[in-house]
Amino acid sequence: MANRDKRRFAAIHILPLALACTALFAPKTRAGVAGPWPFLAAIAAIEILFLIFCRKRQRKGSTITGLCDIIVFIWLALAVWELCTSVFDIAHPVLVPEPENVFATFIEQWDILALNVLYSLELLLIGFSLGMAAAVLCGLAAGWFKRAREFVYPIANVLAPIPPVVFSPYLVALMPSFRSASAAVIVLGVFWPALLGTINRVAGMDRRILESAKLLSLGDGAMIFRVLLPYTLPGIISGLKVSVTTSLLMLNFAELMGATHGMGYYIQNSVTYANYTHAVAGIICIGVVVTALNALVGRVQAKAIKWR
């Protein structure tokens, strides 16, 4: 790391220190501001994660300029939030809660937040697994059999761009429970794009591979599961990050429409009772969950398709 970069890296750490001092010592003009310790814990956690990611980047020989820009933006955003609420009380007193109270929610309601996160992740796993498995199997069959492809592809091409949340109100009324309706929203959101992508991957397969496989006189089942599936699997895995993130966002939207559990329900219920402190905490929680899922899927991709 060059001397200029080292000085910049060191200067970045002044921002969380200044923010922590503001939270500890600046007089609060708003009433009912919680203690600063949960907010300070969040600042410390963000700083530790930043150092960990910087260390990993440096070990790989990658630049940390992007990470530095991101962390500066985060510190400035938190500083503006703190100054406009707790210190100077410029922002709306109800719609923009204090960061101390928002981060205190993670301690006060950790069990409720954890329950709703687990509920959402369980539905996500069910809906995503069903939708992806059905899409891959149907896509492989449609890609291999010409008549099936001529029937399925135009339908998938029309339905894939339609947001599945459009069907949410109808599915809520049609399905026997909201849980099944939420799972159906995820299945629809995953199925059509993944089906279309699988058919296109089979269609774009190297003809030489197919000709070589035909020389072995393989049956249709063997062609699909022993030739087409291994060929398309890396492409399917490489698109998992976008698919999982989109599925979680669709689930959270579906949960806004009448669920009794889940992160979307937690936010909607908080907004209904004008508890924007809990609503902001729920939004932050969703962001953390999405980031963690992206990191998990990224590790799966790195292990499964190392050659890419």
pLDDT confidence bin for 1, thresholds 50/70/90: low
Instruction: Say which range, 149-153, 166-170, 200-204, 303-307, has the weakest mean pLDDT.
Output: 303-307
- Asked if residue 4 has pLDDT above 70, the reply is no
- Asked if residue 126 has pLDDT above 60, the reply is yes
- Asked if residue 244 has pLDDT above 60, the reply is yes
Instruction: Return the CATH superfamily for domain 110-304.
Output: MetI-like (1.10.3720.10)
Please tell me the distance from the alpha carbon of residue 12 to that of residue 97, in angstroms, as a whole number: 26
**Which pLDDT belongs to residue 209?**
75
- Asked if residue 307 has pLDDT above 70, the reply is no
Residue ranges of the chain that CATH labels 1.10.3720.10:
110-304
- Asked if residue 106 has pLDDT above 90, the reply is yes
Mean of pLDDT values over 118-145: 91
- Rounded to the nearest 5°, which phi and psi values hold at 47? -65, -40
Mean of pLDDT values over 294-307: 77
Please tell me the distance from the alpha carbon of residue 81 to that of residue 15, in angstroms, as a whole number: 14
Mean of pLDDT values over 241-258: 78
Average pLDDT, rounded, for the chain: 86
**Which pLDDT belongs to residue 270?**
92
pLDDT in tens, 19-53: 999 999 999 999 889 999 999 999 999 999 999 98
Ranked by mean pLDDT, the top range of 46-50, 123-127, 247-251 is 46-50
Q: Which residues contact 137 (CB under 8 A, 6 or more apart)?
A: none
**Which pLDDT belongs to residue 306?**
60
Q: Which long-range contacts (CB under 8 A, 24 or more apart) does 31-38 make?
A: 32/101, 33/86, 33/98, 33/100, 33/101, 34/98, 34/100, 34/101, 34/104, 35/100, 35/104, 36/100, 38/100, 38/103, 38/104, 38/106, 38/107
For residue 111, how many other CB atoms are within 10 A of its CB?
8
Please tell me the distance from the alpha carbon of residue 46 to that of residue 35, in angstroms, as a whole number: 19
CB 230 within 8 A of CB 239: no
Considering only CA atoms, which of 39, 53, 55, 52 is closest in space to residue 101? 39
pLDDT in tens, 45-65: 999 999 998 888 888 877 888
pLDDT confidence bin for 237, thresholds 50/70/90: confident
**Which pLDDT belongs to residue 114?**
95
Ranked by mean pLDDT, the top range of 96-100, 168-172, 266-270 is 96-100
Please tell me the distance from the alpha carbon of residue 258 to that of residue 76, in angstroms, as a whole number: 36
DSSP-derived letter for residue 165 is G
**Which pLDDT belongs to residue 5?**
62
Considering only CA atoms, which of 41, 167, 186 is closest in space to residue 102? 41
Considering only CA atoms, which of 213, 238, 235 is closest in space to residue 226? 213
**Which pLDDT belongs to residue 232?**
86
Considering only CA atoms, which of 143, 149, 113 is closest in space to residue 287? 113
**Which pLDDT belongs to residue 258?**
63
Mean of pLDDT values over 286-293: 89
Considering only CA atoms, which of 24, 5, 34 is closest in space to residue 109? 34
pLDDT confidence bin for 72, thresholds 50/70/90: very high
